[in-house]
Amino acid sequence: MLTGYELERYDRQIMIRGFGEEGQEKLKQARIFIAGAGGLGAPVSVYLTAAGAGAIRVVDHEKVELSNLNRQVLHWSEDIARSKVDSAAEKLTRLNHEVKIEAIEEVIAEANVSQLVAGFDLIIDAMDNLPTRYLLNKAALEMNIPLFHGAVYGFEGRAMTIIPAQTACLMCIYKGVIIEGKFPVVGVTTAVIGCIQAAEAIKYIVGIGELLTNRLLIYDGLNMKFTELKVKKDPNCEHCSHLVKKDKK
C-alpha cells in the first residue's frame, strides 16, 4: 500500500493513464541495477530516484575528475577526487530518501558481474566501453533480467531495450566491434539518452507502452533527428541464440 506521503509525492505520474497507484506500487517494489555513475548514470539514476523506484544499486570504480563535470551532473566541483558512487548515493538520497540507494565501488568484471546483478529486476547499461557492455549483456541474458542499453558519442547517442530470449541483444547488433579510448561528448547528449533509458525502465516496470525492443534508436543532436534501425535477433548470436523464450517469474 502507498502511504499518503507517496500518493502526494507521485501524484502527477499516478494520474497517467495506465500508470495509477498500481504502477507506483510496482515502481516501489522494483530493484534496479545501474552500471556506471557517469554521464548516463547521472540522468538515469536521478529520474528513477525521483520516480520512486524501490532500490537502486550503482556500481562504478572511478573517482570524480575535473573533466567529468561537463556531463556527469550528479558530481559537482566539490566532489573532485571523491568516489563517484559515494557522490551519486549522497545526492540521490537527498533527492528521495524513500529510495534505498546502494553504492558499490568496484570494477564490473567477468568474475563478479553475476553476483553484482543477482536479485535485481532490471539492469541499466550506463557504461562507456563495449567490453563491460558485453559482460552485462551476457549476464542479463543468462539471468533473465532485461537490459536497458544507452551509448553516446559527441552529439550522438543510441538506445535499445533488450528482453532476454525475446529480442535482439547487444551482441546481435554490435558483433564484437570494439572502439577503445577517450571519446568526445557533451552533457546534453548523455541527458537525452539517459532519460530515454529511464523512460524505458519505468515503462517496463509499470507495464505500459511499447518498449524500444528490436529497434535501435539513433539520436543525432546536431541535426536534431531521431532515427530507428530495425534489428533482428541473430540466430547465430553467441550470447543469445541458445536461449529459449520463457515467461519471467
Question: Which residue ranges make up the site for Zn ion (CB under 5 A)?
Answer: 169, 171-172, 237, 239-240
Least separation in angstroms between residue 249's CB and Zn ion is 22
H or E element: which one contains 131?
Answer: helix 130-142
Tell me which residue has its CB nearest to Zn ion.
237
Nearest to 152 by CA among 75, 49, 70, 233: 70
Shortest gap between Cβ of 176 and Zn ion (angstroms)?
11
User: Distance (Å, rounded) from C-alpha 185 to C-alpha 153?
Assistant: 5
If one counts every other C-beta atom within 10 angstroms of the C-beta of residue 220, the result is: 14
Residues 120/218, Cβ–Cβ less than 8 Å? no
Q: Which of 233, 239, 190, 191 is nearest to 215 (CA)?
A: 233
Q: Is the Cβ of residue 126 or residue 169 nearer to Zn ion in the bound state?
A: 169
* Contact by Cβ (8 Å): 22, 13: no
Place of cell 530495425: 230
Nearest distance, CB of residue 68 and Zn ion, angstroms:
32
Q: Which is nearer to Zn ion, 36 or 164 (CB)?
A: 164
Cβ proximity to Zn ion: between 158 and 239 the closer is 239
In this complex, which beta carbon is closest to Zn ion, that of residue 74 or of residue 151? Answer: 151
CB of 244 to Zn ion, least distance (A): 14
Between 74 and 169, whose beta carbon lies closer to Zn ion? 169
Q: How far is the CB of 159 from Zn ion (least distance, A)?
A: 17
Specify the residue, 90 or 234, whose C-beta has the smaller distance to Zn ion: 234
Q: Which helix (H) or strand (E) holds 160?
A: strand 156-162
- Copy the grid coordinates of residue 184: 568526445
Q: Count other C-beta atoms under 10 Å from residue 47's C-beta.
A: 19
Q: How far is the CB of 168 from Zn ion (least distance, A)?
A: 6
- Please tell me the distance from the alpha carbon of residue 249 to that of residue 176, in angstroms, as a whole number: 31
122 by Cβ neighbours in 10 Å (0-12 / 13-18 / 19+) ranks as buried
